[in-house]
Structure 1
Amino acid sequence: MTAPTTSRAARAALVLALLVTGLSMRTAVTSVGAVLDDLQDDLHASGGAAGLITTMPVLCFAAFGAATPRLARALGPHRLLVVALAVTTVGLATRPFAGGVALFVVVSTAALAGSAVSNVLMPSLVKLHFPDRIGTMTALYTTALAVGVTAAAGLTVPIGEAGDGWRQGLAAWAVVSAVAVVPWLPTVAADRRARATTLAGPVAPTGPDAAGSAAPPARAVPMSALLRSRTAWALTVFFGTQSMQAYITFGWFARFLTDHGIESGTAGAMLAVLTALSIPVSLVVPRIPARHHRAVVGLFVVCLATAYVLMAAAPRPTAWIWVVLAGVGGGSFPLLLTLLGMRARTADTIATLSAFVQAIGYLIAGTGPLLFGALYGVTGSWALPIAVLFTALGVMTVASRRSTTPRFVDDELAASPR
């Protein structure tokens, strides 16, 4: 299926769809963290159960993301996204009213499954509808995603306090995903007419990555085929180690700050600033020309390395400095999503590549907070946990070099022996 010819109004609706879908993509995750203590008390959840609830996003993003390309070929990408957003809406609206931990986990799985599908489909839909504006459209939805992350973390508690408590605060985010369904509805007809088994036909490459021969005929690319692609593996390791550092940041930095004498309220404000910095960074980074991507990654690496050095050497006196540097350094995430849209020739292959990278990458990322916490628990010191951050950063730097080299995974698969 190729992207349908669209009127100006239809393209405006697609832009709105990307924007609102981006807003909804992480609200199921960050809203829970904001009310975790109240949730744990009311549901009589043990520490282990609370740990499971906070680990679920990584597991769901990996498991359901891996199934997305096959589902997209069977149902059509737009129809699948509409279903995913509807499932997310139902999950977000109903899980706060679960009477126990087990039901909360089951319903949360539904909400997170919808988010996982959105994670994988968004880069391919950007390629499908805006092949010549990948950076701009990726900037649009990743900035919206960052706004959604910040809003869900900061507004869930006030919304709950204005209503009947944490349950209403969580349920309120169902409104965003419900609104996101609407602008995608006209696109479902295109899936129905096409009756295609692949996500898209060939799209002529444009821009700096357009070197090489014409796009090959479209065909479904199984995830197993990407095992032979060095670029796919580089993107996966880049994604996994970048996300590992992000999950450690969100899970442990507040504790690190309070352990070094900073009051919990101030530590929370610092973490909010770190998160909010992702908004302007996400707006700018995907629009940077491809020829500068490697230099941009280098800038992020310097920011993160400096932040980690300051954490180890002078954590309290320089706290605001390293928090800001860590926030800016997190800009490699929107760059990664941009690269996913630039490393394959067709939207179908991008969907498969996105699923491959995220399914394995999130599993890599999930080990980070566990290892970080285990090392701190065993040693009682922050030295080895910080060494984990340096190690992840070093591996990310190496993987980023091939990830930022202009090439298509389609061409690698065609040239590699089967």
Structure 2
Amino acid sequence: MLLGIVLVALNLRIAIAAVSPILDVVRRDVAFDDTLAGLLGAAPLVSFAVFGSLAPVVARRLGLEPTLVAALLLSATGEVVRSTTGTPAAFIAWSVVALGGMGIGNVLLPPLVKRYFPDRIGPVTAAYSMTMAFSTTAPPLLAVPLARQLGWRTSVGVWSVLAVVAVVPWCVVIARRAATGHGRRDVDGLPPGASGPADQRVRSGTGRVWRSPLAWGLAVTFGMNSLNTYALFAWLPQILTDAGLEAEAGGRWVALLAILGLPMSFAGPLLAARLRDPWPLVAALAGCYVCGYLGLALSPATGTAVWIVLLGLAQGVFPVVLALINLRTRTAEGATALSGFVQGAGYTAAAPGPVLVGVVHEVTGSWTPALAVLLVTVGVLAVVSLVACRPAVLEDTWGARPRG
């Protein structure tokens, strides 16, 4: 189970990370204009929001494991086919397919941890969060050499192999269940139609996640953090270049920003699992955002390393929220519903962020107002995370009523 979870996590950012370093090469061959390139840049957040929202619905019908297998195969298909296309529209469409599979995987990983490792939520979340961070940093280092040696199509399509490999452990799980007569199980771990303990039925079966203040708190916290993360990766190189640094230096600082996600991906879930109320941790990470943005606004070319380290550490909000999805639910069904809502609503809120930052910079001619916008979103994150972090359980707050 742990191998399966880690292999899935390894696939969840590759469709993004493998293309961005060689986008200029792809554009020359596939004839992207700036507008279509912008659409491609917006595709991850939009795909994660749409497909992530659909994941709980599909999982309730098919079960967690079969839905995950379908998502991995969907992602592999999108990665392969887009590497063979010759038009921008087809490349974007099949990128959405690949990203859609990843969006479903994003949502299903927390409930799978809840199902198979309910007493190891912190360590297992740390393991797959670190793997996701690694899958963000490794492909950019390999994509350019692969494109030079084998061509950009191979560089883009070869990562589909990892999705196919990730399917294997879950096919074994499904086959074993079929062989032992267990068959498909609902996302709460019970066979279809089975009756569990009355308390579990009341608390897990009939709630509406959007009724829960906890769910909204987690969704807004997740969304504001994602907005800042994607805005930084989109605009940090230009911010530093406009401050007088060389273009190559901007790329190196972005790489450092991604690498700093690794230690926080490990530490964040472990700390969240140990703290009854992890809001002080989230507030400290929000403070890192504030100090990093103030540094970029006041002295971007001096002290750059300090500002990037602070912003890199601030990314720890993401794995903390992933851990809280499981820590604040009782059942895999609750974790599935909460994960789908948090990531669907969160990525929807985050999607306009990079565009908004670019528009503010273009209108004002300065990065200071754009960074001020990001500071406002960090303030929202810090305040709303009070609700997200307080000790509560989704099944007690989502308006559940007894079945039957």
What TM-score does the superposition give when structure 1 sets the normalisation length?
Answer: 0.89
Q: In the TM superposition, what are the counterparts of 1:377-396 in structure 2 within 5 Å?
A: 377-396=362-381
Separation of aligned partners in 1, 2:400 and 2:96: 39
Which of 176, 182, 186 pairs up with 1:198?
A: 186
1:46 and 2:33 matched: yes
Q: Structure 1, residues 100-157: CA drift from partner, whole Å, max 9, x if none? A: 1111122112211110110000000000000011111100111000000101222111
Alpha carbons 2:224, 2:380 under 8 Å: kept: yes
* Counterpart Cα distance in 2 of 1:385 and 1:199: 42
Distance 2:205 2:142 in 1: 42
2:264 to 266, 281, 287: 281
**1:313 Cα shift?**
1.1
Consecutive unaligned residues of structure 1, counting only runs of 5 or more, are: 1-13, 203-212
Report if the CA contact (8 A) 1:201-1:218 is conserved: no
> Of 90, 93, 98, which residue of structure 1 is paired with 2:85?
98
Q: What is the CA–CA distance in structure 2 between the aligned matches of 1:303 and 1:58, rounded to whole Å?
A: 24
**Contact 1:73–1:197 (Cα < 8 Å) also in 2:** no
Tell me how far apart the structure 2 counterparts of residues 113 and 382 of structure 1 sit (CA, whole Å).
32
Q: Judging changes above 3 Å, is the alpha-carbon distance between structure 1 residues 345 and 42 closer, same or farther for their aligned structure 2 residues?
A: same
SS of the equivalent of 1:97 reads coil
- Cα distance in 2 between the residues matched to 1:196 and 1:343: 25
1:342-357 mapped onto 2 (5 Å cutoff)? 342-357=327-342
The one-letter code sitting in structure 2 at the alignment partner of 1:17 is: G
Query: Which residue does the alignment assign to 1:147?
Result: 134
Equivalent residue letter for 1:294 = W
* Residue matched to 1:5: none
How far residue 217 of structure 1 moved from its aligned partner, in angstroms, is 4.3
Structure 2 distance, partners of 1:191, 1:354, is 25
Query: Is it true that 1:82 corresponds to 2:65 in the alignment?
Result: no
CA distance in structure 1 between the aligned counterparts of 2:373 and 2:176, rounded to whole angstroms? 47
User: How many Å separate the matches in 2 of 1:396 and 1:168?
Assistant: 40
RMSD (CA atoms): 1.8
> What is the number of residues matched between the two proteins?
390
- Are residues 1:172 and 2:158 paired? yes
**Pairwise CA distance, 1:57:** 0.9
Equivalence for 1:401: 386
Name the SS for the 1:35 alignment partner.
helix
Residue 267, structure 1, aligned to residue 250, structure 2 = yes
* Amino acid in structure 2 at the alignment position of 1:248: A
The residue number in structure 2 matching 1:115 is 102
The 3 A distance-change label for structure 1 pair 415 and 124 is: closer
Task: Give the partner amino acid of 2:65.
Answer: H
After TM superposition, give the deviation of residue 295 of structure 1 in Å. 2.2
Residue 295 of structure 1 aligns with which residue? 280
1:245 aligns to 2:232 (yes or no): no
Query: In the alignment, residue 172 of structure 1 is paired with which amino acid?
Result: V
AA aligned opposite 1:359: G
| 1:186 to 2:169 alignment | no
- Cα displacement string for residues 187-211 of structure 1 (whole angstroms, at most 9, x for unaligned residues): 2246655556730148xxxxxxxxx
CA–CA separation in structure 2 for the residues paired with 1:415 and 1:61: 27
Aligned-partner Cα distance in 2 for 1:408–1:152: 38
Q: Is the 8 Å Cα contact of residues 199 and 348 (structure 1) preserved in structure 2?
A: yes
How far 1:35 moved relative to its partner? 1.2
Q: 1:183 to 1:201 in 2, by over 3 A?
A: closer
Greater mean deviation of Cα atoms: 118-127 or 55-64: 55-64
Contact 1:77 1:191 in 2 (8 A): no
Identical counterparts, % of pairs: 36
Please state if 1:368 is matched with 2:356: no
* 2:195 corresponding residue in structure 1: none
State the 1:377 CA deviation.
0.7
Alignment partner of 1:132 out of 119, 124, 129: 119
User: Is the alpha carbon distance of 1:390 and 1:160 closer, same or farther for their aligned partners in structure 2, counting shifts above 3 Å?
Assistant: same
After superposition, give the CA deviation of every residue in 1:263-300 in whole Å (9 maximum; x if it has no partner). 01111011101100111211121111133622211221
Paired residues of 2:212 and 2:399 also in contact (CA < 8 A): no
Q: Which moved more, 1:82-91 or 1:255-264?
A: 82-91
C-alpha separation in 2, matches of 1:293 and 1:190: 39
